[in-house]
Each structure stands twice: as structure tokens, then as C-alpha cells.
């Protein structure tokens, strides 16, 4: 292997720098209904429209009181009752308590709420149960404790999930400003052996599984897949297919980047004047990965990946290197790839010269995420891949990752 190939970290850094440059483009914004916003990228921050909470809120059913009085364990007269949704009540008279429900405004003058379960009732009055004490502030969220009016709750660039939608709803955002266009990602599969999914392969042929897989990965990363007709391993056909893809925001080419006689992608890219950033990375699977920029006259260059055709190699290299660019083009501030932590259930072999990404399956047991390699016949084994939900990363130079060791995993 040529010593000049970048390692995983080096290639990832180069991609991250490229992503940062792409993120500087200012995309179009539009307003959409909150209920349609899941997965969209916020273009302007969501701010609190009033203090949160807007009134001191009881977090319990019980009795609002003065902590000092309650701690004396004397009987307190019940001065009133307040339910969630009622306007603030009070003031609380001296020597009294106010019945209160979870979510209701704490009456003026009260500084604590005794939980219902900690109250003794006698003669129509209440007192803090013997042996218990209460501190000022207990079971009350003060007005503005969560956020002040105008505070930023969700920054621009956030890909909206359920928690962000809840925060937006709480602030009265029935409409949300989001980035209008998802980046259009062209998917060009290449290979004489490929037939469409609905065809019966002849001997030596296989169905094109990368096109739908890459489309799914693109959608998952926040892009809009654009599947081009499959190109044969033919210089002319490849070049015209590449020309067709020039209007995309990002181009994924699958296959044809290895060292074989019919691996014609790199020469075709070279004929278009592509600036090659790397051709090969010290990773497995995915070593032949190509990353380049194709010139487009005065328009910005088209970033393009030549992904190795083996399905597991294509998936790994997409997640590691293409997903961050899709996210950046989508205006998302989420830095991909995102690794989680797991513990390896069984030994996995490493390599002295490569960072490995091993298809694995995770399970949650004894309070930790356990990752087990699925065991495959190599990076074309789709049956094994279908049993995997992540890649376990084995850093270069590690002879093996032993059972019980912590590991970084990349979710599929």
C-alpha cells in the first residue's frame, strides 16, 4: 500500500474542512407548519416568547406554604385551592396553606409546596408530617428558571427532533422557519454486472442494491436522492453520465474505483478536470475511496465521491465521509459522523496498517451497549450486513479489540 494514502483521521479532517466551506453558503428559507417540521433544518433560532415558566409553578399536588411555618409542624388553615390553569391566587395569609395541583401557579407569599403524601390532616387543617422537614423553594420552579423571554432555545441549523418541536410549540411557533431545499445528491451506479431490482439476474449478474441503499443513506443524512441510470463500464458512457450529474449539489459514484481493468471512474473524472483530494484511504472496508471536486465553469465546483462498489464499503464510506457533506449542504449544524460508545462483546481483530470498520450488532445488557461483529464473508456480504446496525471502529495499529474493551461505534 502506498505510504502516501491518508489515514482515517487525516481524510476525515479534510472532509470536515470541506464541509465547513460548504456550510458558508446561505440557503433559502421557508415557513412550514410545526406538525410538518420533523427532520427539517431550522433556519432561524427558536426563542422563548415569555419567561419559562411564566409563573412560579408547582411540581406536585399538595399544599403551598411558608417553609418556616411548615417546619414548626403546627396546623395550618387551608386558605384556598388552586388548579392548573387557574389565574395566580393569594396572597397566602400567615399560618395558612393553599391546596395546589401540579402545574398550578404558586400563590404569592408561599415559598414551598408540601407533597400531598407528606401532609397530615386534622380538624380540617393540615400540617407537615412528623419527622419531615421542607426547604424554601422545594417543589416550585420559579418564574424564568428554565429560560428568560428572548433566550435562544434551539439554534439555527438544528435538525428538528421531537424535543425541539415541543419547545417550539411551548413558545407559540405554529409556523417554523426552515431551510427550503434539501441538497440534491446524484447517485450514479456503475457496473456491467448490474441489473435493476425488479429484473431476474442472469448468471454472473447481480441486482443493483447500491442505488436504493445510497438513496436511503442520503435521505437519512438530510439530502434528496437523485438516482441516475446505471452506467456500463464504458469510458464514453461513464463520461456522459458524469456530465448529466453536473447540476447536482453532491455526486456519489458507486463502483469502478478499484485497480481493475474496467475501473474507469478515475480516468473519466480526470478527463473532466476533477481536482482529486484523495484516491484511497487507509481504512477497511472502503480503501479505494475517491474524493474530488469537478469544475463547473463559473459555478462552484461539484464535490464528488467515488465509492467502492461493494455494498458494505459503499455504506461505510458514505457514513464516514459523504454524510458530513450532505449535512453541511443541508444547513445542519450537526457534525457528522457521530460515534457512540459501546463495549465489545467478543474479540475483534485489528490491522496494523488500516482503521477497520466492522459491521456489528448492538444489544443493551447490564447497563451498557454491547457490540458484536456479525461475522461476514467480506464487504459484499449483504446477508451479514442486514444483521448489522453499526460499524465498530478498530483504530489502525491495534492488533485486536478485546472482549470488554470500550469502542466507538458508527450507527447505520
The residue nearest ligand AMP at its CB is 309
Cell numbers at 275, concatenated:
481536482
Q: Least distance (Å) from ligand AMP to the CB of residue 206?
A: 6
Q: Which stretch binds ligand AMP (CB under 6 A): 101-109, 190-198, 293-301, 343-351?
A: 190-198
Evaluate whether 375 touches 314 at the Cβ level (below 8 Å).
no
Candidates 37, 58, 139, 210; binder of ligand AMP (CB under 6 A) is: 210
Instruction: Tell me how crowded residue 191 is: count the other CB atoms within 10 A of its CB.
Output: 20
Decide if residue 116 touches ligand AMP (CB under 6 A): no
Residue closer to Mg ion by CB (options 262, 339) is 262
Evaluate whether 109 touches 95 at the Cβ level (below 8 Å).
no
Q: Least distance (Å) from ligand AMP to the CB of residue 211?
A: 6
Q: Least distance (Å) from ligand AMP to the CB of residue 393?
A: 22
Can you say how many angstroms the Cα of residue 351 is from the centroid of all Cα atoms in its chain?
Answer: 29
Q: Least distance (Å) from ligand AMP to the CB of residue 13?
A: 25
> Using CA atoms, how far apart are residues 3 and 194, in angstroms rounded to an integer?
34
Q: Which stretch binds ligand AMP (CB under 6 A): 20-28, 107-115, 249-257, 322-330?
A: 249-257
Q: Least distance (Å) from ligand AMP to the CB of residue 330?
A: 24
Size of the site for Mg ion (CB under 5 A): 4
Size of the site for ligand AMP (CB under 6 A): 20
> Using CA atoms, how far apart are residues 185 and 221, in angstroms rounded to an integer?
11
Region 253-282 residues binding ligand AMP, contact defined as CB under 6 A: 254-258, 260, 263
Residue closer to ligand AMP by CB (options 157, 256) is 256
Candidates 61, 193, 234, 239; binder of ligand AMP (CB under 6 A) is: 193
Q: Least distance (Å) from ligand AMP to the CB of residue 302?
A: 21
Q: Is 188 exposed, middle or buried (0-12, 13-18, 19+ CB in 10 A)?
A: buried
Residue closer to ligand AMP by CB (options 67, 228) is 228
CA angle 367, 372, 373 (to 5 degrees): 160
Cell numbers at 370, concatenated:
454491547
> Using CA atoms, how far apart are residues 97 and 91, in angstroms rounded to an integer?
11
Residues in a beta bridge with 284 = 356
Contacts of residue 339, defined as CB under 8 A and 6 or more positions apart, other chains included, come to: 393, 408, 409, 410
Evaluate whether 138 touches 19 at the Cβ level (below 8 Å).
no
Contact of residue 389 among Mg ion, ligand AMP, none (CB under 5-8 Å per partner type): none
Decide if residue 334 touches ligand AMP (CB under 6 A): no
CA distances 39 to 182, 224, 232, Å, are 11, 13, 35
Q: Pattern 246-265, binding to Mg ion, x per CB under 5 A? A: ---------xx---------
- 3-state SS, 262-287, equals CCCHHHHHHHCCCEEEEECCEEECCC
Strands (E), 44-83: 46-47, 57-58, 62-65, 77-82
Q: Least distance (Å) from ligand AMP to the CB of residue 203?
A: 14
Q: Which stretch binds Mg ion (CB under 5 A): 59-67, 146-154, 189-197, 211-219?
A: 189-197
CA distances 106 to 12, 94, 121, 160, Å, are 53, 15, 21, 33
Q: Pattern 297-326, binding to ligand AMP, x per CB under 6 A? A: -----------xxxx---------------
Decide if residue 189 touches ligand AMP (CB under 6 A): yes
Region 299-338 residues binding Mg ion, contact defined as CB under 5 A: 309
Interface ranges with Mg ion (CB under 5 A): 191, 255-256, 309
Q: Which residues bind ligand AMP (CB under 6 A)?
A: 189, 191, 193-194, 206, 208-210, 254-258, 260, 263, 308-311, 380
Amino acid at each position: 500500500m502506498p505510504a502516501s494514502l491518508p489515514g482515517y483521521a487525516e481524510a476525515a479532517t479534510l472532509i470536515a474542512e470541506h464541509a465547513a466551506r460548504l456550510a458558508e453558503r446561505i440557503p433559502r428559507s421557508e415557513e412550514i407548519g410545526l406538525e410538518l417540521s420533523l427532520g427539517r433544518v431550522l433556519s432561524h433560532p427558536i426563542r422563548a416568547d415569555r419567561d419559562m415558566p411564566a409563573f412560579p409553578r408547582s411540581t406536585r399536588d399538595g399544599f403551598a406554604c411558608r417553609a418556616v411555618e411548615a417546619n414548626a409542624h403546627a396546623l395550618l388553615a387551608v386558605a384556598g385551592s388552586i388548579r392548573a390553569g387557574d389565574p395566580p391566587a393569594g396572597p397566602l395569609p400567615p399560618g395558612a396553606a393553599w391546596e395546589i395541583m401540579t402545574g398550578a401557579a404558586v400563590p404569592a407569599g408561599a415559598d414551598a409546596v408540601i407533597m400531598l403524601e407528606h401532609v397530615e390532616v386534622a380538624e380540617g387543617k393540615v400540617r407537615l408530617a412528623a419527622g419531615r422537614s421542607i426547604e424554601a423553594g422545594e417543589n416550585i420552579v420559579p418564574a424564568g428558571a428554565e429560560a428568560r423571554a428572548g433566550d435562544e432555545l434551539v439554534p439555527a441549523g438544528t435538525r428538528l427532533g421531537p424535543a425541539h418541536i415541543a419547545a417550539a410549540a411551548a413558545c407559540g411557533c405554529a409556523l417554523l422557519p426552515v431551510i427550503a431545499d434539501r441538497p440534491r445528491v446524484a447517485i450514479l451506479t456503475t457496473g456491467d454486472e448490474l441489473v435493476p431490482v425488479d429484473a431476474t439476474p442472469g448468471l454472473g449478474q447481480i441486482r443493483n442494491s447500491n442505488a436504493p441503499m445510497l438513496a436511503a443513506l442520503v435521505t437519512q443524512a438530510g439530502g434528496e436522492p437523485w438516482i441516475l441510470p446505471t452506467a456500463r463500464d464504458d469510458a464514453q458512457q461513464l463520461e456522459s453520465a458524469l456530465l448529466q450529474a453536473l447540476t447536482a449539489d453532491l455526486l456519489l459514484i458507486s463502483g469502478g474505483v478499484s485497480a481493475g481493468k474496467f475501473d474507469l471512474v478515475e480516468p473519466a473524472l480526470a478527463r473532466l478536470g476533477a481536482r482529486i483530494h484523495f484516491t484511497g484511504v487507509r481504512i477497511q472496508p472502503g480503501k479505494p475511496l475517491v474524493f474530488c471536486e469537478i469544475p463547473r465553469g463559473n459555478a462552484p465546483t461539484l464535490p464528488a465521491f467515488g465509492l467502492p462498489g461493494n455494498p458494505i464499503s459503499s455504506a461505510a464510506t458514505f457514513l464516514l465521509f459523504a454524510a458530513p457533506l450532505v449535512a453541511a449542504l443541508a444547513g445542519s449544524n450537526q457534525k457528522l459522523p457521530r460515534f457512540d460508545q459501546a463495549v465489545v462483546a467478543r474479540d475483534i481483530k485489528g490491522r496494523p496498517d488500516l482503521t477497520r470498520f466492522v459491521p456489528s450488532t448492538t444489544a443493551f445488557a447490564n447497563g451498557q451497549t454491547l457490540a458484536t461483529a456479525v461475522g461476514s464473508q467480506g464487504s459484499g456480504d449483504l446477508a451479514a450486513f442486514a444483521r448489522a446496525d453499526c460499524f465498530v471502529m478498530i483504530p489502525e495499529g491495534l492488533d485486536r479489540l478485546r472482549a470488554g474493551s470500550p469502542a466507538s461505534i458508527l450507527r447505520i
